[in-house]
Structure 1
Amino acid sequence: MARRSSVDANGDFVFMDMRYNNKMLEGLNRLRLNNTFCDVILCCGGKEFPCHRNVLVSFSCYFEAMFTVEWMESRQMRVAIHGVEAQGLEMLVGYAYSSKVVISVANVQTLLTAANLLNVMAVQEACCHYMVHCMDETNCVGIHCLAEAHSCKTLAKRSMEYILTHFSAVFRQEEFLSLSVEKVTQILSSENLDVPKEEMVVEAALLWLNKCPTHRHTFEKVLEQIRLPLISPSYRHDVIESLDVVKESQGCQRLIAETKDPNLMQYSRRARPRECRVRNVMLVVHERNKRCYAEIFDPRINRWKSLLADMPLPVSGHSLVGLVSGSSLYMAGRNSSYGSTSTEMWRYDLRDPTQEPCDLSRGQWLQMASMDVARSGFGLVMLDGYMYAVGGCSRVLDLTSRVWYYPVFVERYDPDMNTWQPMRSVNRSEYRISPRDVIALDGLIYLVGTVTVPTDDRRQSPTDGELLSRVKKYDPETSIWTDCAPVQFPRTHFARCTLKGNIYVIGGDCPTELSSNTYTDKVECYNPQTNQWRMCAPMKRKRWNPVVAVVDGYIHVLGGSESFGTGLRDIERYNDERDTWRIVAEIPTKYCIFKSLRCFSLRLADVYAQTPSSS
């Protein structure tokens, strides 16, 4: 509509002409073109542009500062504009009087420079948007350098992302080969540099080296960004070590020597695959046909892959935990027969850091330092780089009260030193702590209560006891246990995980359910900041004894039984922002009957690249 009217709160009639703004600009532009009432002349590149100061001030902070402050230009009729081309200034003046500008490949760089100097943000953003639209492997490097020169942070970020994602084509372009050593090292050092093999990074570095003789003086800085341990020894010897620039540089020789020292490379960033080559996956450990297996599952592409190395001991009765880095799996304790415990611990390295992509078949089980206390079926968690073992000890009779209890000894393991250290505090629990009862979050260890163990020694089954809704937290810094708000629905055989600072308790057996089948689909969430539990949306299926892993910000639940003797094949995913569950995948038929199931979220490099997936 050209005109619009309305009645305001006072009953007055309000009229608005929607065409007025354009008419005003058209009138001002006619005055400019006819040099009518113009009170300033902008001079640039031998050209003159008569203008009105009030129009210039209204569209540019640069001109606002120039003409409203007592500067010399505020009193001059002719003002020289430096640092821009006449074409760019002419286009911006036209924009000031029309609100329109035509951007093309031929003028975008000139226009961006002028818009940046004169602080015309709308035009600057339009130029950046246009360059993102036109970006390809031949111009992305130039666009990135231009964006950095003009402090266009969004364009600089987008162009760098393009360079890293399309590096296999970008590094062959003239723009890349002409870059400074600082920019080349920034690109080659990035965790997001997407290359199928590290040898391609070597190829890019050599092309850059041969482009200009002066690049030889700084090649050590470039070589330092290459993940040399991920390159095959034969390629390293034939292509890199044979270079004259490497032979003549002590720094390059040092980098080559470090690559051959496994102790130096054990924790080196250069020995790890780049982050963009790493997948967030689920590691599923289980027993089948009296043997132990491990499977890798990637929820994003719905593929399974077998872990080829057998475990040294059955999973039953053991506690397992994966390192936060996703490089190792620890298994501790033992329950080979009823009532037995053990101090043993084993470690399996899930990836060989010298191999890319990750080759799961090259890993091996190593026996590590033993715990001080023998345990079985206890809590084992990673917290702030340490591993904590909680509970799992044989029960003890209090001779004074004649009540049976379980001592809750806590030990801490240092993976770097391979040593265990007993913690000061000893707590008492009336129930045996199971692996699912213990979870770590934000520097604390939480216990979610399950069932009591009766004082009558003849009743051996823990399921005969009274359900508890008790929750406690343990602070390793002070070795103090503190009570927390109880869960709303006490349960056994549940799954638990942490997500975004909250603790989730999922599924299990809830005898308070008023039905013959007490398996539950209920999900509760605990907020440590408020010390409160809340109910979440229930799962699609009731699940007894499920397992859970958090991958890519979603909770994934698999396994368990919906009724006695019936294993579930589907995998459910929870979106905490929408509070919704969705079935996203199925367990392959040959894996559907899982025994002693464990599940972890791990980060591995290209686990599907070398052998066919399981079907």
Structure 2
Amino acid sequence: MDLAAIEVFHYQDKELSSALLLQLNSLRRDRVFTDVFLCSDQSEIPCHRNVLVSSSPYFRAMFCSNFMETNQTRIRITGITSSSLSSIIDYVYTGLISITMENVLPLMQAASMLQYGRLFEVCSAFLQERLSPENCLSMIRLSEILSCNSLKNKAKAMAMESFSDVSSSEDLCELSLPELLGYLEDDTLCADEEQVFETLVAWIHHDPRARRGAISDLFKKVRLRFIHPTYLFQFIANDPLIQSSTLCTEIIESVRRLMFSVNSKSPSDTAVNLKPLWVAPRRYTCSETLVVVGGRKNNEQTSREALIFDENSQTWQWLAKLPLRLYKASYVCLHSVLYVLGGLPTTATNTPRQASSAVYTLSLKTNQWRTAEPMLAPHFAHQSISFLHFIFVLGGLGSDRCVSNSVERYNSMFNQWETMSPMPEAVLHPAVAAADQRIYVFGGENAMQNPVRMIQVYHISRNLWFKMENRTVKNISAPAAVIDDKIYIVGGYTRRVMAYDTKTNRFTNCANLKERRMHHAVTVLNHKLYITGGRYVTGHDLIEDSDSVECYDPATDSWTSKGTLPYKLFDHGSMALTCVTQTLAKS
């Protein structure tokens, strides 16, 4: 016979194993060939040794080693209830088991003891599906008792992500000091620094006699650089716990001296233990996101809309609307709060009213607009810039509709406005940026609508201006933004993009825009420039409104499209605001 011609058919009976289990279970129930009884409480469960040995390393060691149980017909299983043991034996013979909140814990303990690993992890998955901010800390405790890493990791992740809810639970107050320190120093903790402080205070007050001495260790975990100065100096500094600690008060005073020095680079030599605290990074969960607000929408009316870009879905979400329509207001971000300053209030038909000195604020945490301390004088078509804990408002038009060279400064530490030295030249629509303790005002136009070819520089700590004539500067209605030591001026009735090096006082040309652009907005996200909306000049010298979102990468000197806004927009604000969570209330 030709062996090569023989055909081989490999058959696998996929139902054999399950059918065999069913037959073995039937034999067990009828006590056929059963050779051992597992005893718990007052019950006895007949089994086959070979089935138990095949299903668990625990029983393999018991019956295949020189233990006394090898020859016994009745084995007492301690520490496991009869119902749990019966459920596990049914699972061994059938592969089926019912898990409830009432029996999951004794089942996990039994599965762990008897070394049924898959059943143990199934119980863990059952508990993971029922995790909540209210029970996740208890689940962590339970996972440590059961040595269940999968449950512990999932519960710990929820505790970090839902810290706002977890921090108000009674379970948090039961944490040990090392456990609480572990949470507060973790970069992935989803909380702002004010909440971190409030959490440690609540923990101490739960048992003040035993815990008061931990205040300095806990306070070092608060990243003071990212706390609003008003909250820091009016609330935290006056807290009795902080005042009771010499180290805490020294840290607060060091921050105060740093703020007054108007020096953002490093703390003073006298700052006690401040430097490692001050340079601590923002928590990873505090990511910056693009927010667009106000402006002229579809060239029809002044917009009250505020939008936030959702990175995950690549879509725009609506925030709460501005309280009123404002024409040519200014927009700035300070301490993760959006400020809308001044502007010309208008009606739905764009009928102008008197210029405003009002200031409105929006926090992503509350998604509610509030009024803040008003400016000293009304402004519209002005420029605003933030630096450390200050907001500077420069020029624009006042109540008399004349071009102004005035400068006002808002001190968020004391919630006060004050008049500063005026600009040497009054200009409209310049490009403005702050870098290296200075404010740079590039170009713009004068009262006769002629381009101003100069750079005006304001030294913040000295309250002094000086100006530099520069023929390279010729921009109107162009925004500016800072990356590293360079100020990027984008467009301004031109396609040109320039980078000004503050160290060398030199301009370099960057990749051009696609069209001549003006009245657009720019902000910095992840070391890149994001340009939104504006107006552009077509090839036929017509002016059109834009809804584009474009990104410039200085590392590659290139532009890429990032989609579009929900509508065409110009004269708006664009900021990078810090989000602790992407869950926002819809307006």
TM-score, structure 1 normalization: 0.50
Q: How far apart are the structure 1 equivalents of 2:481 and 2:68? A: 70
Q: Quick one: which of 300, 303, 308 aligns to 1:298?
A: 308
| Residue segments in structure 1 that go unaligned for 5+ positions in a row | 1-8, 289-294, 349-363, 393-408, 414-419, 424-431, 438-491, 495-507, 510-542
Cα deviations by residue, 1:203-240 (Å, 9 ceiling, x for unpaired): 663355434743344343333334565435343355x3
Which residue matches 1:139? Answer: 135
Q: How far apart are the structure 1 equivalents of 2:38 and 2:474? A: 82
Preserved contact between residue 43 and residue 81 of structure 1 (Cα < 8 Å): yes
Cα deviations by residue, 1:379-433 (Å, 9 ceiling, x for unpaired): 99977xx4347999xxxxxxxxxxxxxxxx99866xxxxxx2699xxxxxxxx95
Q: How far apart are the structure 2 equivalents of 1:73 and 1:580? A: 73
Q: How far apart are the structure 1 equivalents of 2:82 and 2:154? A: 29
Cα deviations by residue, 1:443-498 (Å, 9 ceiling, x for unpaired): xxxxxxxxxxxxxxxxxxxxxxxxxxxxxxxxxxxxxxxxxxxxxxxxx533xxxx
Q: How far apart are the structure 2 equivalents of 1:83 and 1:112? A: 12
Q: Quick one: which of 26, 30, 38 aligns to 2:26?
A: 30
SS of alignment partner, residue 139 of structure 2: helix
Q: How far apart are the structure 2 equivalents of 1:117 and 1:377? A: 79
Q: How far apart are the structure 2 equivalents of 1:95 and 1:381? A: 65
Preserved contact between residue 380 and residue 390 of structure 1 (Cα < 8 Å): yes
Report sequence identity in percent. Answer: 17
Letter matched to residue 513 of structure 2: H
Shift of 1:281: 1.6
Which residue matches 2:513? Answer: 493
Does residue 256 of structure 2 align to residue 235 of structure 1? no
Preserved contact between residue 237 and residue 243 of structure 2 (Cα < 8 Å): no
Preserved contact between residue 225 and residue 270 of structure 1 (Cα < 8 Å): no
Q: Quick one: which of 76, 80, 92 aligns to 2:70?
A: 76
Q: How far apart are the structure 1 equivalents of 2:151 and 2:12? A: 42
Change (3 A) 1:36 1:580: farther
Preserved contact between residue 532 and residue 574 of structure 2 (Cα < 8 Å): no
Does residue 566 of structure 2 align to residue 570 of structure 1? no
Preserved contact between residue 164 and residue 192 of structure 1 (Cα < 8 Å): yes
Q: How far apart are the structure 1 equivalents of 2:257 and 2:577? A: 25
Write the mapping of 1:111-126 to structure 2, written as runs, cut at 5 A: 111-116=107-112, 120-126=116-122
Q: Quick one: which of 151, 155, 158 aligns to 1:159?
A: 155
Letter matched to residue 215 of structure 1: R
Preserved contact between residue 165 and residue 193 of structure 1 (Cα < 8 Å): yes
Change (3 A) 1:569 1:98: same
Q: How far apart are the structure 2 equivalents of 1:205 and 1:279? A: 28
Change (3 A) 1:132 1:212: farther
Does residue 362 of structure 2 align to residue 387 of structure 1? no
Which residue matches 1:473? Answer: none
Change (3 A) 1:172 1:581: closer
Q: How far apart are the structure 2 equivalents of 1:80 and 1:101? A: 23
Which residue matches 2:576? Answer: 602
Does residue 543 of structure 2 align to residue 558 of structure 1? no
Change (3 A) 1:135 1:344: same
Preserved contact between residue 188 and residue 201 of structure 1 (Cα < 8 Å): no
Shift of 1:102: 1.7
Q: How far apart are the structure 2 equivalents of 1:377 and 1:205? A: 55
Does residue 257 of structure 2 align to residue 280 of structure 1? no
Q: How far apart are the structure 1 equivalents of 2:455 and 2:8? A: 86
Change (3 A) 1:62 1:387: farther
| Residue segments in structure 2 that go unaligned for 5+ positions in a row | 1-5, 259-266, 298-304, 311-316, 323-330, 333-340, 342-383, 385-392, 396-425, 491-497, 552-559
Does residue 88 of structure 2 align to residue 109 of structure 1? no
Change (3 A) 1:26 1:170: same
Shift of 1:280: 0.7
Letter matched to residue 235 of structure 2: Y
Letter matched to residue 290 of structure 2: V
Change (3 A) 1:434 1:49: farther
Write the mapping of 1:28-67 to structure 2, written as runs, cut at 5 A: 28-33=24-29, 36-38=32-34, 51-52=47-48, 54-56=50-52, 58-60=54-56, 66=61
Does residue 178 of structure 2 align to residue 182 of structure 1? yes
Cα deviations by residue, 1:12-44 (Å, 9 ceiling, x for unpaired): 5968564x4443222222344455545666677
Cα deviations by residue, 1:320-372 (Å, 9 ceiling, x for unpaired): 6999xxxx997575577999866766799xxxxxxxxxxxxxxx99889999x
Change (3 A) 1:422 1:77: farther
Cα deviations by residue, 1:577-603 (Å, 9 ceiling, x for unpaired): xx998655124xxxx345xx9x97724
Shift of 1:143: 0.7
Shift of 1:82: 7.9
Change (3 A) 1:391 1:572: closer
Farther-moved stretch of structure 1 (114-123 vs 44-53): 44-53
Which residue matches 1:454? Answer: none
Does residue 566 of structure 2 align to residue 585 of structure 1? yes
Preserved contact between residue 289 and residue 525 of structure 2 (Cα < 8 Å): yes
Q: How far apart are the structure 2 equivalents of 1:102 and 1:31? A: 22
SS of alignment partner, residue 586 of structure 1: coil
Shift of 1:96: 1.8
Write the mapping of 1:247-262 to structure 2, written as runs, cut at 5 A: 249-262=245-258
SS of alignment partner, residue 101 of structure 1: coil
Write the mapping of 1:265-414 to structure 2, written as runs, cut at 5 A: 268=277, 279-282=288-291, 297-300=307-310, 301-303=317-319, 306-307=331-332, 308=341, 309=384, 310-311=393-394, 334=443, 376=473, 386-388=484-486
Which residue matches 2:211? Answer: 215
Preserved contact between residue 433 and residue 482 of structure 2 (Cα < 8 Å): no
Preserved contact between residue 452 and residue 474 of structure 2 (Cα < 8 Å): no
| Count of equivalent residues | 427
Preserved contact between residue 198 and residue 227 of structure 1 (Cα < 8 Å): no
Preserved contact between residue 187 and residue 285 of structure 2 (Cα < 8 Å): yes
SS of alignment partner, residue 566 of structure 2: strand
TM-score, structure 2 normalization: 0.52
Preserved contact between residue 549 and residue 562 of structure 2 (Cα < 8 Å): yes
Letter matched to residue 302 of structure 1: W
Letter matched to residue 558 of structure 1: G
Letter matched to residue 545 of structure 2: L
Shift of 1:141: 1.1
